[in-house]
Amino acid sequence: MYQLYALERTGDRACGKQLKKMKEIEKYNTEDFAHARAKLFDDVCQILETGKKEACVKVENIAVLTYWNIGKRIVDEEQNGKHRAE
* Residue 69 counted as domain residue: yes
**Considering its fold, how many domains does the chain have in total?**
1
* Residue 48 counted as domain residue: yes
Q: How far is Cα of residue 80 from the mean position of the Cα atoms in its chain?
A: 52
Give the residue numbers spanning the domain of 52: 2-79
* One-letter amino acid of 34: A
pTM attached to this predicted model: 0.52
* Residue 84 counted as domain residue: no
Task: Give, for all 86 residues of the chain, the pLDDT tens digit.
Answer: 445 445 455 555 556 666 677 666 666 667 777 888 888 999 999 999 999 999 999 999 999 999 999 999 999 888 887 777 66
3-state secondary structure string, the chain?
CHHHHHHHHHCCHHHHHHHHHHHHHHHHHHHHHHHHHHHHHHHHHHHHHHHHHHHHHHHHHHHHHHHHHHHHHHHHHHHCCCCCCC
* Residue 85 counted as domain residue: no
